[in-house]
């Protein structure tokens, strides 16, 4: 067990070093990527904006899956994973909304529009903020209640993704990303480089956050032992 | 003849009252999307502050989040140490 722990610890630090190097190189790659013909410089927000939503998608999927496993099988590990992923959903969602707003101010002339995609993304963020609030202030049984919110949030995510294709919106459609490989291979490479860096960062933060929950559970167990 | 004169006066009056309305009418709005690089320079916003703002916000958010996780982890570790010390002191007394 000690050897496995040491290996995991080493793997974590190697992964952290790789992630740090990727984030150090990301601005160079973004600066070298070609300019988009109509939006020019401000379009370069896209590389982190898209990547953060990819990391958020991973967080939402993990939160939904972990919540469902906890609800039906009662696994405490799955619950800790779901809780950690919910917090990361809020963090990455906050950056996604703020970066999108900054981009919109320049490209559309408005900080915010009550557009289908933007409104649904905001609602998704609010659902996960609700999850964290229920968890913190819900009292006994808050785990089960927040679990239901996690599943509900995960079920909402596909609608947020497809909203630009189903309804009339000012936000670019999903086809823009699908065709980017052929329309601008240089941009496509940089986008996926940044996305990979974000997914690595998300993995690292998830590991640390789950570790925090494990230590909290251990502390609760020690308190119960001391009282008993 | 009188009818023609009256008709002429009515038409002139109508034209004169309609003239100010025509004068204040704004040109029809331009339809469709205008790319931001085609706007007059006075209406364009500089892009750099938004770009720098987005990346700076990301940096602050990540540093802030890692700091809060580290703080919470340290708090738990401190509590565990204090609890272990208390339990070891209790067992020594016994």
What is the distance between the alpha carbons of residues A221 and A216, in angstroms, rounded to a whole number?
9
Task: Inspect the interface and report whether the beta carbons of B83 and A105 lie closer than 8 Å.
Answer: no
Chain B nearest C-alpha distance from A132 (Å): 15
User: What is the per-residue pLDDT across A125-163, written as a single tens digit (0 to 9) for each?
Assistant: 999 999 999 999 988 889 999 999 999 999 999 999 999
Please say if the pLDDT value at position B32 is more than 80.
no
5-64 in chain A: CB under 8 A from chain B: 27, 38-42, 44-45, 48-49, 52
- A217, A77, A59, A74: which is closest to A150 by C-alpha? A59
Q: What is the pLDDT of residue B31?
A: 55
Please say if the pLDDT value at position A190 is more than 90.
yes
CA A69 to chain centre: 20
In-domain check, residue B16: yes
Q: Please tell me which residue of chain B has the smallest CA distance to A42.
A: B47
Tell me the C-alpha to C-alpha distance, in Å, between residue B1 and each of A126, A133, B6, B8, B12: 78, 87, 9, 11, 17
In-domain check, residue B9: yes
What is the distance between the alpha carbons of residues A165 and A130, in angstroms, rounded to a whole number?
27
User: Which pLDDT band holds residue A174 (cuts at 50, 70, 90)?
Assistant: confident
In-domain check, residue B36: no
β-bridge mates for residue A40, sequence order? A36
In-domain check, residue B43: no
User: What is the per-residue pLDDT across A2-48, written as a single tens digit (0 to 9) for each?
Assistant: 777 788 889 999 999 999 999 999 999 998 888 887 777 878 899 99
Q: What is the pLDDT of residue B23?
A: 60
Q: What is the pLDDT of residue A208?
A: 96
Task: Inspect the interface and report whether the beta carbons of A91 and B35 lie closer than 8 Å.
Answer: no
Task: Inspect the interface and report whether the beta carbons of A98 and B55 lie closer than 8 Å.
Answer: no
**CB-based burial, B39-68: b 16+ in 10 Å, e otherwise:** eeeeeeeebeebbebbbebbeebbeebeee
User: What is the per-residue pLDDT across A48-88, written as a single tens digit (0 to 9) for each?
Assistant: 999 999 999 999 999 999 999 999 999 999 999 999 999 99
Looking at the structure of chain B, the number of domains it has is 1
Chains A, B: CB pairs < 8 Å: 82
What is the distance between the alpha carbons of residues A60 and A154, in angstroms, rounded to a whole number?
5
In-domain check, residue B61: yes
Please say if the pLDDT value at position A228 is more than 60.
yes
Residue A165 gets the label, from left (phi > 0), alpha (psi -120 to 50) or beta, of: alpha
Number of H-type helices and E-type strands within chain A:
7, 0
Number of H-type helices and E-type strands within chain B:
2, 0
Question: A20: which chain B residues are within 8 Å (Cβ-Cβ)?
Answer: none
What is the distance between the alpha carbons of residues B65 and A201, in angstroms, rounded to a whole number?
12
The residue that leads in pLDDT, A158 or B21, is A158
In-domain check, residue B73: yes
In-domain check, residue B8: yes
Q: What is the pLDDT of residue B29?
A: 54
User: What is the per-residue pLDDT across A200-212, written as a single tens digit (0 to 9) for each?
Assistant: 999 999 999 999 9
Check CB contact of B16 with chain A, cutoff 8 Å. Answer: no
In-domain check, residue B39: no
Q: Quick one: average pLDDT of B68-79?
A: 96
Q: What is the pLDDT of residue B7?
A: 78
Please say if the pLDDT value at position A172 is more than 80.
yes
The ipTM estimated for the assembled molecules is 0.90
User: Tokens 């700091």 identify what position?
Assistant: B67
User: For chain A, which residues make up each domain, given as ranges?
Assistant: 46-227
User: Which pLDDT band holds residue A94 (cuts at 50, 70, 90)?
Assistant: very high
Task: Inspect the interface and report whether the beta carbons of A48 and B54 lie closer than 8 Å.
Answer: yes
Q: Which domain holds residue B17?
A: 2-24+48-93
User: Which pLDDT band holds residue A171 (cuts at 50, 70, 90)?
Assistant: confident
Chain A nearest C-alpha distance from B82 (Å): 11
Chain A nearest C-alpha distance from B17 (Å): 39
Q: What is the pLDDT of residue A157?
A: 93
Please say if the pLDDT value at position B28 is more than 60.
no
Q: What is the pLDDT of residue A159?
A: 93
């Amino acid at each position: 067990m000690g050897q496995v722990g040491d290996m995991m610890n080493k793997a974590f630090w190697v992964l952290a070093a790789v992630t740090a190097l990727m984030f150090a190189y990301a601005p160079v790659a973004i600066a070298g990527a070609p300019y988009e013909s109509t939006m020019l410089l401000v379009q370069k927000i896209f590389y982190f904006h898209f990547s953060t939503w990819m990391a958020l998608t991973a967080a939402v999927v993990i939160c939904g899956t972990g919540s469902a496993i906890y609800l039906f099988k009662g696994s405490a590990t799955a619950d800790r994973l779901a809780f950690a992923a919910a917090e990361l959903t809020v963090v990455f969602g906050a950056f996604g909304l703020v970066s999108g707003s900054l981009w919109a101010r320049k490209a559309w002339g408005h900080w915010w529009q009550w557009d289908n995609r933007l409104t649904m993304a905001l609602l998704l963020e609010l659902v996960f903020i609700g999850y964290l609030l229920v968890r913190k202030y819900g009292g006994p049984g808050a785990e089960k209640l927040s679990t239901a919110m996690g599943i509900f949030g995960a079920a909402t995510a596909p609608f947020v993704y497809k909203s630009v294709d189903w309804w009339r919106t000012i936000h670019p459609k999903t086809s823009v990303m699908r065709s980017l490989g052929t329309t601008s291979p240089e941009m496509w490479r940089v986008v996926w480089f940044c996305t990979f860096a974000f997914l690595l960062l998300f993995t690292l933060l998830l590991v640390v956050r789950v570790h925090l929950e494990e230590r909290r559970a251990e502390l609760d167990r020690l308190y119960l032992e001391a009282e008993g | 003849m009188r009818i023609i004169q009256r008709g002429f006066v009515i038409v002139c009056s109508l034209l004169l009252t309609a003239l100010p309305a025509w004068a204040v009418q704004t040109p029809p709005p331009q339809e469709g999307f205008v790319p931001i690089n085609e706007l007059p320079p006075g209406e364009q916003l500089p892009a750099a502050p938004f770009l720098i703002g987005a990346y700076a916000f990301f940096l602050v958010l990540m540093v802030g989040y890692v700091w809060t996780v580290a703080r919470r982890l340290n708090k738990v570790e401190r509590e565990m140490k204090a609890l272990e010390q208390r339990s070891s002191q209790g067992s020594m007394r016994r």
